[in-house]
Structure 1
Amino acid sequence: MRMTTLAAATLAGLGLAGAAFAEAESQEPIKLTLHDWSGQLLTTTIMGKVLAEAGYNIEYVQADYIAQFAGLKSGDLHVAMEIWETTGREAMDEATATGNVVNMGETGMKAIEEWWYPAYMEETCPGLPDWQALNDCAREFATPETSPMGRYLGGPVTWGGFDEERVEALGMDFEVVHAGTDAALFAELESAYQRKAPIVLWIYSPHWAPAKYEGSFVEFPAYTPECYDDPAWGSNPDMAYDCGKPTGPIWKVAWSGLAETWPGAAKAVEAFTISNEDMGAMVGEVDLNGKSVDEVSDAWLEANKDTWSAWIVD
């Protein structure tokens, strides 16, 4: 879907116009990728609206999180606003090594994506948050579909994350079951939490869930790059991924031709930054309070004019 005249008029109606903004170098559309979680939709929509305010023609393209790199390398896609250190680093490094994709820097957000359980499960499963204690209690997390194995509710399969590889490498008595959507993942958490039912699932931050629900991330053997790259590292000498997930920045990446075709837009993407606190609050407004991504992104733009205006001033 393209940034329309109506959207631009909405921006003007919010008082977001600025006379000193850089002039767009080309009216060819800049294609920004959209994924399947609210935070990424917000990040991308904010960036798109700021670029539209600077006079660029913006197109949003739905794309899989990992598969998008093929389009970024070919130039069919131009900007991806959220590559998480936790799950996307390998794909990002492979793409940037080709020279066709460039790392545009950190978003300002810090990523955690890991197995998580509600605090009430500590009575049922003493020894948590240690992963070995979790494994000893695997039957407590079983469902009729997975019994006698415990169920780990993972994110949508397109998110990556190597959960199946970790379960096998660590010899865990768990079956990985993927939620179909981000919304379905957190609907299951809400249902389980209300009933105090057993659940261990993928939780990420920045997000509203770690603030709303009392619980803890499971503690796996600490991540090192060797854990993913060298099967001999760690407790299983024959398999990689026998450790926790990495934590770290959420990155921005772009097709290498972005700076040549739209230099002002490239500078704006590089300058973009937002905090975990701001993003967690915005995701809560969308997921918990039923507001639209457009409503919430417009409110952030209205409240942070000085911040985003600096991204596009010539």
Structure 2
Amino acid sequence: MALASAVALLAVTGCGAADMTQQASPYANAEGSKTVTLSVQSWVGAQANVAVASYLLEHELGYRVDTVQVDEVPAWDALSQGRVDAILEDWGHPDQEQRYVEEKGTIEPGGRLGVTGHIGWFVPTYFAERHPDITDWRNLDRYADQLRTPESGGKGQLLDGSPSYVTNDKALVANLGLDYQVVFAGSEAAQITQIKQFAKEKKPFLSYWYKPQWLFEQVPMTEVKLPAYKEGCDSDPEKVACAYPHTPLRKFLNADFARNGGDAAALLKNLTWTTEQQNEVALMIADQKLSPEEAAGKWVRANGPTWRKWLP
């Protein structure tokens, strides 16, 4: 994500889910047809957006919705080419935005999602309460031995999700001179499994993690303060030595779809909700094991005053 990027986590929503690495949806940018294709990322918050948007497009506006799972950066190319019509949760890709929005004009901003994202390093609160100084990055090396795992090669472990996520962690560890090794779980789902296992055994851990995310409800975590973020401090990926920013998450639409997508484009531009609302749907999908459509339907039935404002 961009901060984070995508790996398979849960079944994607919609009646025609597809793997973007193998095929493009035949419905994207289909002129004159009531079809919409949405890019769906692997993390469950993004899936919650797509689930609710899909449900409303289908049940309120009569569209067919197709979803395509695609990594976060390649999704911009797919959107530019019209292979997907919209990305509903972008964590900030200024290089892609410059190329496709400013220079090529093939993508248009779709407005803010209403949710602010933030990536950071987190330790379990039960460990931070026993060792409050660990919440300052300058003290992390004192605890490297306790955070060592078989995968971290004699150093403390910093647990990341997928290598495809946009992460500064390897540079941060090197540039801050920390005795840690970044270890990739492989996906959000695998990382959640590992964090839950640590928590069950009350073991310490240090993990790249992000808000909003429903797991905080089950495993309280406390953020480690990295050097303060300042505009431009992360512009050189090799020299990053600062915290991640707080990023208002945004939507982007294929430019043709934004202009000619009718009621569907209007609804997606209007869609905006809170972190709490997103987490409510995400929790139903990831923890209660409802299908995305079931979770969306349950949320829609209970939140009419919110989503009716999105309708064109």
TM over 0.5: yes
- 1:111-260 mapped onto 2 (5 Å cutoff): 111-122=117-128, 125=131, 127-229=133-235, 239-260=238-259
CA distance in 2, matches of 1:177, 1:199: 12
> Residue 83 of structure 1 aligns with which residue?
90
Alignment check: 8 A CA contact 2:86 2:251 kept: yes
Query: Could you say if the C-alpha distance between residues 309 and 25 of structure 1 is closer, same or farther in structure 2, counting changes exceeding 3 Å?
Result: farther
Q: Give 2:273's aligned residue.
A: 274
TM-score between the two structures when normalised by the length of structure 2: 0.83
Aligned to 1:96: 101
Amino acid of the structure 2 residue aligned with 1:108? G
1:43 and 2:49 are equivalent in the alignment: yes
**Post-superposition shift, 1:263?**
3.1
Look at both structures and tell me which one has the larger radius of gyration over its CA atoms: 1
Matched, 1:59 2:58: no
Whether the aligned pair in 2 keeps the contact of 1:125 and 1:133 (CA below 8 Å) is: no
1:32 aligns with 38
Q: Which amino acid aligns with 1:78?
A: D
Q: Distance in 1 between matches of 2:14 and 2:235?
A: 41
Range with bigger deviation, 265-274 or 204-213: 204-213
Cα distance in 2, alignment partners of residues 172 and 184 from structure 1:
25
Q: Structure 1 length normalisation: TM-score?
A: 0.83
Please say if residues 26 and 261 of structure 1, whose CA atoms lie closer than 8 Å, have aligned partners that are also in contact. Answer: no
Structure 1 residue 4 displacement after superposition: 4.9
Question: Following the alignment from structure 2 to structure 1, what is the Cα–Cα distance between the partners of residues 173 and 69?
Answer: 30
Separation of aligned partners in 2, 1:125 and 1:90: 40
- Contact preservation (8 Å) 2:125, 2:221: yes
Q: Distance in 1 between matches of 2:262 and 2:286?
A: 35
> How far did residue 201 of structure 1 move?
1.0
> For residues 214 and 230 of structure 1, what CA distance do their matches in structure 2 show?
32
Q: Matched residues in 1 for 2:97 and 2:183: separation?
A: 26
* RMSD of equivalent CA atoms: 2.4
SS, match of residue 139 in structure 2: helix
Q: Is the 8 A contact 1:125 1:134 kept in 2?
A: no
Pairs aligned (count)? 286
**Identity level (%):** 26
1:109–1:274 Cα contact (<8 Å) kept: yes
Distance 2:125 2:205 in 1: 11
Name the CA shift for 1:103/1:148 in 2 (closer, same or farther; >3 Å).
Answer: same
What is the aligned partner in structure 2 of residue 74 from structure 1? 81
Partner-residue secondary structure (3-state), 1:157: coil
Query: Structure 2 CA distance, aligned partners of 1:4 and 1:122?
Result: 45
Aligned-pair distance for 1:77? 1.7
Unpaired runs of 5+ in structure 1?
Answer: 6-23, 232-238
Decide whether the 8 Å contact of 2:111 with 2:251 is kept in 1: yes
- Distance (Å, rounded) in 1 between the aligned partners of 2:245 and 2:133: 23
Provide the secondary structure at the position in 2 that maps to 1:227. Answer: coil
Unaligned runs of 5+ in 2: 1-11, 17-29
Classify 1:2/1:247 alpha carbon distance in 2 versus 1 (closer, same or farther; 3 Å). Answer: closer
Deviation at 1:230, TM superposition (A): 5.5
Q: Which runs of 4+ in 1 moved over 6 A?
A: none
- Quote the residue 2:23 is aligned against: none
Q: Distance in 2 between matches of 1:176 and 1:190?
A: 19
SS of equivalent residue, structure 1 residue 139: coil
Deviations 1:46-86 (A, max 9, x none): 1122222313332111111122111112222210111124x
Between the aligned partners of 1:118 and 1:59, the Cα distance in structure 2 is 38
Distance of aligned partners of 1:174 and 1:263 in 2 relative to their CA distance in 1, 3 Å threshold: same
The DSSP-based 3-state class of the residue aligned with 1:278 is: helix
Q: Alpha carbons of 1:94 and 1:154: their partners in 2 closer, same or farther (altered >3 Å)?
A: farther
State the shift of 1:25 in Å. 8.0
